[in-house]
Chains A and B, each alone.
Chain A
């Protein structure tokens, strides 16, 4: 079993929809949680970085961590075609050794 599980999709939504992306993790030592966005043929780009449980909002993006259920979520409001990419969740107990989910492919259609 992978330490971080993520539904690979693909997920297709109409423009303007609210998108919900989710991951679960099994390692209780994980304290830091990240969401990266990766466009085709590019490296991952950090979207959100959260520590422990709670919500963090940045523009159209909200990251949510529930440590009691080991559940990580990313919500995208008013989704745009430019949001079409692969979204990767990642966790670490500290330091730079990140454990990634396999990524969810998102397509936002006009």
Chain B
């Protein structure tokens, strides 16, 4: 079974631009969660999508948004990029039943200049 895939793996943007990251979950998984990982703050939950609906949300500004498609693939968008948005963005997929295992993708490394 193929794992979670994320594209692109690396991205360089400049301040003020926007970016879209993509995540394809494991086949059969309906939940996709997004996390931001930085050296200072560690892994922080952004949001979770289940059956095309946002089911849970972390404490990030509205510049961070996401969506999920009918095939469970998910995209995350960051608008008006700031230097502090430089991070590894990870997505994780699970069946979405609640206390089930989340499987992480390799991440997208975003650098904002």
Enumerate chain A interface residues (CB-CB to B < 8 A): 32, 36, 41-46, 49, 51, 88, 90, 92, 94-103
Contact = CB atoms under 8 A, between A and B. Distances in A.
B103 interface: yes
20 contacts: A32-B99, A44-B43, A88-B42, A88-B43, A92-B99, A94-B99, A95-B48, A95-B56, A96-B31, A96-B48, A96-B56, A96-B92, A96-B96, A97-B58, A99-B45, A100-B35, A100-B42, A102-B41, A102-B42, A103-B43
Contact of A96 (B41, B94, B106, B107): B94
Interface of B: 4, 31, 33, 35, 41-45, 48, 55-56, 58, 90, 92, 94, 96, 98-99, 101-107
A26 to B, nearest CB: 15
Contacts, number: 61
Nearest to A45: B104
**In this complex, which of B4, B42, B58, B94 has the most chain A Cβ atoms within 10 angstroms of its Cβ?**
B42
B45 A97 contact: yes
Of the listed residues B41, B58, B102, B106, the one surrounded by the most CB atoms of chain A closer than 10 A to its CB is B102
B104 A44 contact: yes
A103 B88 CA distance: 15
Contacts of B43: 44, 88, 90, 98, 100, 103
